[in-house]
Amino acid sequence: MELSKTLGELKASGYKSISIKDEMRKNLIGILKNGEQPFAGVIGYQDTVIPQLQRAILAKHNISLLGLRGQAKTTIARLMVGLLDEFIPSIAGSELNEDPFHPITKKAKAILAEQGDETPISWIHRSERYTEKLATPDVSVSDLIGDLDPIKAAHLKLSFSDEEAIHYGLVPHSNRGIFVINELPDLQPRIQVSLFNILQEGDIQIRGFKVRLPLDIHFVFTSNPEDYTNRGSIITPLKDRIQSQIITHYPMNISESKIITRQEAQIEDDQKSLVSVPGLLDDMIEELSFVARESELIDQKSGVSVRLSITAFENLIATAELRALKNNQKSTTVRISDLIGAIPAITGKVELVYEGEQEGALQVAHQIIRQTIRKEFLKTFPSPERLSKRESPSPYDPIVEWFGNHSLDLDNDASDEDYAQKLLSIKPLVSFIKDFMPEIQKSEVPLYAEFVLHALAEYSLISKKSYHGKVNFNDMLGSMLS
């Protein structure tokens, strides 16, 4: 499409201006009729959040996204840009992206009156029609709405009562665009009050001036339920003016969580060629977040962000990469012991309750890893706890008996060859794995052998001690006596 350069050309082209909410509604309808998926890349919300978003946009509502941290609220807001027209016309030189057919400022009206159909037109790309502001306690009314600018008035030799002496804030500058306020409860109540008019009447009033600007803005607000009690709240009259409040959530299952992690994790190409991640570890990294969200030691009102799994996955890859570099290996596979590398991702992503603080962040992280091992173990193998209550022999007995006469030291930095050799030397363990996993690949046997040992230690059938980058597996009774 050839873009008009003057108002006369724009009129001749048959262009009709519409409000941003009508524009988003029109484009969403077109996307849905074409069978396309709006908000592509947002995983796990197809049957919950996204239908609510679509209804709100079709209803031409301003939107409040309410949810715990790490629930893609800001991502959703940014993806709304895709519902805008690629380009829209504006009066060239207009400070507020004004519609050539509906000017709102004194300056733009003067330009149109003087130049008429020769008024030059500029075209604004949709990427320039998105404004995002993080709410902080120091945000002022002048930041958002605007105020008198004495320096501007003096420079242009204007009276302080002249409309052109106004310095417009972020909201007016977002005219005909999407304006996002992140963490809305952090705004002081008196600042929230300044948004009443624009949300209800669609205009703003600037202190000391008799000017009212009918702005055209689509508002999106994000907030965390925790904020309502800990840092502030959204005042009731403002909540009443936001037409649709949509509640977000964490991934509901491991498969969705894995897709998000793989999509968001920053893994270098050389890491991908060097380190392979077996399906077992892929699941366990996601299980860490699910276990943390059930832990009584973690403040669930604060939430456990999906960033825990993302950064834990990145740390897991880096741990295996470091070991491969130390051993000068061209490739390696992630091990159970590499989960130790995920600890910084856990300690940095969770808020602890009083009992958790007493335990300490490091101990809580170790506990989450141990619970993850137990939980994942029961998906493949029988529960050692249930078997211990039966009179018949347990399939774990030969492994436990082996440790009655032997012990095993696993070095976290051992080469893949040494790692496999030590684990495969435990014949009862190898036989056990092949019995329960007859289709297992030979290369995966050492990984599952280590997995079984860690799990049996968690169920107190054998002992496990970590020291100086090594893990020692031994007979439980002998370990207690020594």
Range with the lowest mean pLDDT among 159-168, 174-183, 396-405? Answer: 159-168
What's the confidence (pLDDT) of residue 446?
96
Given a contact cutoff of 8 angstroms between Cβ atoms, the answer to whether 228 and 271 are in contact is no
The H-or-E segment that residue 221 falls in is strand 217-223
User: Residues 373, 394: one domain?
Assistant: no
Give the whole-number percent of the chain exceeding pLDDT 70.
Answer: 91
User: Residues 394, 434: one domain?
Assistant: yes
**CATH number assigned to the domain comprising residue 96:** 3.40.50.300
DSSP string, 13-44: TT-----HHHHHHHHHHHHHHTT--TTTT--S
In-domain check, residue 1: no
**pLDDT tier, 223 (very low <50, low <70, confident <90, very high otherwise):** very high
Phi and psi at residue 354, to the nearest 5°:
-60, -45
User: Residues 316, 431: one domain?
Assistant: no
Q: Which of 319, 350, 379 corresponds to the end of one domain?
A: 379
Phi and psi at residue 447, to the nearest 5°:
-60, -50
User: Residues 73, 174: one domain?
Assistant: yes
Q: Is the pLDDT of residue 151 over 80?
A: no
Phi and psi at residue 104, to the nearest 5°:
-125, -15
In-domain check, residue 13: yes
Average pLDDT over every residue of 331-357? 94
Q: Is the pLDDT of residue 481 over 60?
A: no
| pLDDT digit string, tens, across residues 168-205 | 889 999 999 999 999 998 888 888 988 888 888 877 77
Average pLDDT over every residue of 325-338? 95
What's the confidence (pLDDT) of residue 463?
93
Q: Which of 337, 360, 379 corresponds to the end of one domain?
A: 379
User: Residues 374, 304: one domain?
Assistant: yes
Q: Which of 155, 150, 97, 148 is nearest to 121 (CA)?
A: 97
User: Residues 67, 205: one domain?
Assistant: yes
Q: What contacts 126, CB < 8 A, 6 or more positions away?
A: 81, 82, 84, 85, 86, 87, 88
Q: Which of 45, 34, 127, 114 is nearest to 80 (CA)?
A: 127
Q: Is the pLDDT of residue 418 over 70?
A: yes
Q: Which of 329, 295, 302 is nearest to 420 (CA)?
A: 329
In-domain check, residue 84: yes
What's the confidence (pLDDT) of residue 248?
96
How far apart CA 323 and CA 413 sit, in angstroms, is 5
Q: What contacts 303, CB < 8 A, 6 or more positions away?
A: 68, 69, 70, 71, 224, 226, 250, 293
* 331 or 151, which is more confident: 331
* 129 or 154, which is more confident: 129
What's the confidence (pLDDT) of residue 453?
96
User: Residues 403, 368: one domain?
Assistant: no
User: Residues 345, 442: one domain?
Assistant: no
Q: Which of 225, 247, 269 corresponds to the end of one domain?
A: 247
What's the confidence (pLDDT) of residue 93?
85
What is each CA distance from 367 to 292, 380, 410, in whole angstroms? Answer: 9, 21, 20
Adjacent-strand bridge partners of 475: 462
What's the confidence (pLDDT) of residue 204?
76
| pLDDT digit string, tens, across residues 6-42 | 999 999 999 999 999 999 999 999 999 999 988 988 9
Average pLDDT over every residue of 239-254? 94
Given a contact cutoff of 8 angstroms between Cβ atoms, the answer to whether 38 and 31 are in contact is yes
**pLDDT tier, 482 (very low <50, low <70, confident <90, very high otherwise):** low
Average pLDDT over every residue of 104-115? 89
DSSP string, 80-134: GGGGS-SEEEEETT-TT--BTTB--SHHHHHHHHHHGGG-BEEEEEGGGGEEEEE
In-domain check, residue 203: yes
Confidence (pTM)? 0.87
Residue ranges making up the domain that contains 419: 387-482
The label of the residue with tokens 């943390």 reads 292
User: Residues 93, 168: one domain?
Assistant: yes
In-domain check, residue 158: yes
* 482 or 252, which is more confident: 252
The H-or-E segment that residue 11 falls in is helix 7-12
User: Residues 396, 375: one domain?
Assistant: no
Q: Is the pLDDT of residue 326 over 60?
A: yes
**pLDDT tier, 226 (very low <50, low <70, confident <90, very high otherwise):** low
What's the confidence (pLDDT) of residue 275?
96
HEC secondary structure over 159-185: CCCCHHHEEECHHHHCCCEEEEEECHH
The H-or-E segment that residue 448 falls in is helix 445-458
Average pLDDT over every residue of 228-248? 83
Q: What contacts 425, CB < 8 A, 6 or more positions away?
A: none
Average pLDDT over every residue of 227-249? 82
The label of the residue with tokens 């959204």 reads 234
- Across all residues in the chain, what is the average pLDDT? 90
| pLDDT digit string, tens, across residues 260-276 | 999 999 999 999 999 99
In-domain check, residue 2: no
Average pLDDT over every residue of 468-479? 82
User: Residues 298, 404: one domain?
Assistant: no
**CATH number assigned to the domain comprising residue 324:** 1.10.8.80
Give the whole-number percent of the chain exceeding pLDDT 90.
Answer: 72
* 429 or 205, which is more confident: 429
In total, how many domains does the chain have? Answer: 3
* 86 or 479, which is more confident: 86
What is each CA distance from 152 to 118, 148, 165, 166, 175, in whole angstroms? Answer: 28, 9, 6, 8, 21
Q: Which of 359, 358, 367, 360 is nearest to 339 (CA)?
A: 367
User: Residues 279, 184: one domain?
Assistant: no
Count of CB atoms within 10 A of residue 369's CB?
23
Q: Is the pLDDT of residue 391 over 80?
A: no
In-domain check, residue 116: yes
What's the confidence (pLDDT) of residue 229?
45
How far apart CA 33 and CA 57 sit, in angstroms, is 15
